[in-house]
A and B are shown apart, each in its own frame.
Chain A
Amino acid sequence: MTTGEKQTIATHLKNSGVSRRNFLQLCSKIIVAAPIGLSLTSHRTAAQVAKIVGKARRPSVIWLHFQDCTGCTETLLRTSAPDVAHLILDVISLDYHETLMAASGAQAEAALKSAIEDNAGKYVLVVEGAIPTRDDGVFMELAGRPSIQVVKEVASQAAAVIAMGSCASWGGVPSADPNPTGAVGVDSVISGKPIVNLPGCPPNPYNLLAVVLEYVTMGRLPELDQFARPKFAYDRVIHENCPRRAHFDAGRFAASFGDGGHRKGWCLYKLGCKGPVTHASCASRHFNEIPGVWPIGAGVPCFGCTEKGVVWQMGTFQTVPIHLATPPETYPPIYSTSGALKVGAAGLVGAIAGAVGGAAWVASQRFQSSMEAGVTRIAADRAHAEKAKAPVEKPVAKKED
């Protein structure tokens, strides 16, 4: 572990034998990862960015693991070309990382202590994994101390805290119901320090790099949204930049995995893709330096890993509401159809018309010659009256209708 002032990044890279070409490639990747929203990348060319980054001193980074799967570390390392991982580790000075360092036990403890002391108030703390809080945090201990104490202690000396991944951001998988360990994100435990959440399962490592470099070169953290996520990476939903968006707009959807639409690369919305509500840059910045390597690119619906309210909360195949309903690429014709003929209603009209028509027909057939109409009844009535008049005895039964 180095002590005192760090070398500038340019010097360190030179000493490590990294080529300028590789460094420029990295800088251009940062530009791609954070095209807007960072003052670092407001310089348009990779050479300009490289110049600024090269002047900066390597930032000291302390990386702590809690309840996690180490996936976030893996994503940092699993770059398709070994050079790149190397490069990242050369740009930053990763002074303490439990997975990557050779030391263990008391040696490791000492390393942590010295890293804190050497760079007190200057280092960046990266937290990976959720922090258990139930039962005084006994579910996870480091060197005999609950992790909650460790993170508080290390954070107290840090310049800034970066929560790497969904677990560190708000609890992630460990916090899924019923959350037996009371897992929470870093921001629930630490206060008074600038915290940046980089949710994602895993998040894109370039987002981490961009945040760290922005901090060391410009001396400030990037602009954050309401969940403390940097806006340069999390201000838009996957849906907006999704390469399959055209299929959505045209109404072409995969109906089940492996069906014709799925094979043709149609929209996965109906398979439960959470892209329309998930704020992340995955759609434009793929993983492992390979274009198309990200869930939707691989034909798997986005499961909303960056959204606290979506992942682990909604069903995997449940469709999400569209908040930004935009016009599709189909057009209504000049004359739209409307109205419908229902069998029941038609039958009812037929029945009524039939009944009325039939009644009219029957009635018209029963008209006798005009002169006789009513005469029979009048005669009968009158005869009855004559009969009844003579001796008034008792009322006669009701007349028949």
Chain B
Amino acid sequence: MAITRRQLFSGIAKAGVPTAIAVTVGTDVLSAGEKIHIPNAAVGLLYDATICIGCKACVAACAQANDTPPDTRGDNLHQAPSDLNDLTRNVIKLYKEENGSVFSFVKRQCMHCLDPACAAGCPFQALHKDAESGIVSWTEDKCIGCRYCTITCPYHVPRFQWKGFNPRVTKCELCSQRLDQGLKPGCTSVCPTGAVIFGPRSVLLLEAKQRIEKNPGRYYQNRVYGETDNGGTQALYLSRVPFEKLGLPELGPESVPAKTLRWQRRFYQYFALPAVLYAGLVQVIRKNLKGHEDDAHEREKETGLRAQL
């Protein structure tokens, strides 16, 4: 043998460590990978809280469009979901100031983030962002029911079915089955005031900006929530009251997964660093194991008792 095993390992280590470190911290390669990609045919919703009248037609239409039974668990009478839940993909909530001076409705459904935290955390890609339309949808036969999505989603959207032996995760999937038939999502097809409209994200964004331009001062910070928030979302919001009060947290322009998992992602990039670490560990342990075994056999002779390794 021309080279010993030791030489081989040290050679690998010498070449591997710099490579691994470069792969891990080298920013050029990685920041390209971390850039958020906007799907070509990104569709979305534009919800204008200032023209929503809170009729909840969208709540009923959503249940109908998705063929879910109405959630009457509140009082056994009404379709009165207290929040998004296993039967509710879309809900109208009310924000009211303590003294009642200011109020605003807010429609909550999946934001279809451009870089969704739920999909970033989902272990087996059960939650998946469609490359074309950008719709984040759930796949039944990939989900292990770990409920990590309910922890990670910054908007607290995916909901787990707590009853039954075959639980599902429920979230707005932008009525993709209706889109395939050339229909609009259930909520947008019934809204009497046009508070929620459906369309390509770029068009909706333009529309939202036009509304802000036409009515300066009407909207909070003259800003469209979702343009850049959390790296950008495909559901866009306009509101008179601060978005935070409507349950839409200020997350900054960087998406949650990009912000929080940067080092985690880099560490496991191509599995380079773990592999180098492993190789190093094997080397060290091989050496130490030898010493330990020698010691043990020494003691075996000394004590007359079989060595315990």
Does chain A touch chain B in the assembled complex, meaning CB atoms less than 8 Å apart? Answer: yes
Q: Are A249 and B78 in contact (CB under 8 A)?
A: yes
CB contact list, B102-151 vs A, under 8 A:
105-106
Q: How far is the CB of A276 from chain B (nearest CB, A)?
A: 9
Most A C-beta atoms less than 10 A away, residue of B78, B82, B95 = B78
- A19 CB-CB contact with B under 8 Å: no
Size of the A side of the interface (Cβ < 8 Å), in residues, is: 18
Q: Which residues of A contact B95 (CB under 8 A)?
A: 333-334
Look across to chain A and name the residue whose beta carbon is closest to the beta carbon of B246. A334
CB contact list, A324-362 vs B, under 8 A:
325-328, 330-338
- B26 CB-CB contact with A under 8 Å: no
The complex places the Cα of A330 from the Cα of B75 at a distance, in Å, of 12
Q: How far is the CB of B306 from chain A (nearest CB, A)?
A: 21
Q: Which residues of B contact A66 (CB under 8 A)?
A: none
Q: Are B78 and A327 in contact (CB under 8 A)?
A: yes
Look across to chain A and name the residue whose beta carbon is closest to the beta carbon of B91. A332
Q: Are B83 and A332 in contact (CB under 8 A)?
A: yes
- B60 CB-CB contact with A under 8 Å: yes
Q: Are B93 and A334 in contact (CB under 8 A)?
A: yes
* A326/B247 contact (C-beta < 8 A), A331-B93, A332-B93, A334-B93 known: no
Q: Which residues of A contact B74 (CB under 8 A)?
A: 328
| Total A-B contacts with CB atoms under 8 angstroms apart | 62
* A332/B77 contact (C-beta < 8 A), A325-B72, A327-B56, A327-B59 known: no
Size of the B side of the interface (Cβ < 8 Å), in residues, is: 28
Q: Are A334 and B78 in contact (CB under 8 A)?
A: no
* A333/B94 contact (C-beta < 8 A), A249-B78, A327-B78, A327-B80 known: yes
Q: Which residues of B contact A170 (CB under 8 A)?
A: none
The complex places the Cα of A110 from the Cα of B248 at a distance, in Å, of 83
- A251 CB-CB contact with B under 8 Å: yes
CB contact list, B29-58 vs A, under 8 A:
54-57
Q: How far is the CB of A252 from chain B (nearest CB, A)?
A: 11
- B197 CB-CB contact with A under 8 Å: no
Look across to chain B and name the residue whose beta carbon is closest to the beta carbon of A322. B77
- A269 CB-CB contact with B under 8 Å: yes
Look across to chain B and name the residue whose beta carbon is closest to the beta carbon of A250. B78
Q: Which residues of B contact A333 (CB under 8 A)?
A: 93-96
Q: Which residues of B contact A337 (CB under 8 A)?
A: 82
Q: Which residues of A contact B55 (CB under 8 A)?
A: 327
Q: Are A332 and B81 in contact (CB under 8 A)?
A: yes
Q: Which of A325, A335, A336, A338 contacts B78 (CB 8 A)?
A: A325
Q: How far is the CB of B47 from chain A (nearest CB, A)?
A: 15
CB contact list, A231-254 vs B, under 8 A:
248-249, 251
Q: Are B72 and A327 in contact (CB under 8 A)?
A: no
- B272 CB-CB contact with A under 8 Å: no
The complex places the Cα of A251 from the Cα of B79 at a distance, in Å, of 12
Q: Are B60 and A326 in contact (CB under 8 A)?
A: yes
Interface string of B63-93 (1 = CB under 8 A from A): 0000000101011011111110000000111
Q: Are A330 and B80 in contact (CB under 8 A)?
A: yes
Q: Are B79 and A326 in contact (CB under 8 A)?
A: yes
Look across to chain B and name the residue whose beta carbon is closest to the beta carbon of A331. B94
Q: How far is the CB of A331 from chain B (nearest CB, A)?
A: 3
Q: Are B94 and A332 in contact (CB under 8 A)?
A: yes
Q: Which residues of B contact A328 (CB under 8 A)?
A: 74-75, 77-80
Q: Which residues of B contact A338 (CB under 8 A)?
A: 83
In addition to A326-B60, A331-B54, 12 A-B residue pairs with Cβ atoms within 8 Å of each other are: A248-B77, A251-B75, A322-B72, A327-B56, A327-B59, A328-B75, A332-B82, A333-B93, A333-B95, A334-B246, A334-B247, A336-B83
A residues sitting closer than 8 Å to B (CB atoms) are 248-249, 251, 269, 322, 325-328, 330-338
Q: Closest 5 A-B residue pairs measured CB to CB?
A: A327-B56, A331-B94, A336-B83, A325-B70, A328-B78
A-B contact pairs, 14 of them (CB 8 A): A249-B78, A269-B77, A322-B77, A326-B56, A326-B78, A327-B78, A328-B80, A331-B94, A331-B105, A332-B91, A332-B93, A332-B94, A336-B83, A338-B83
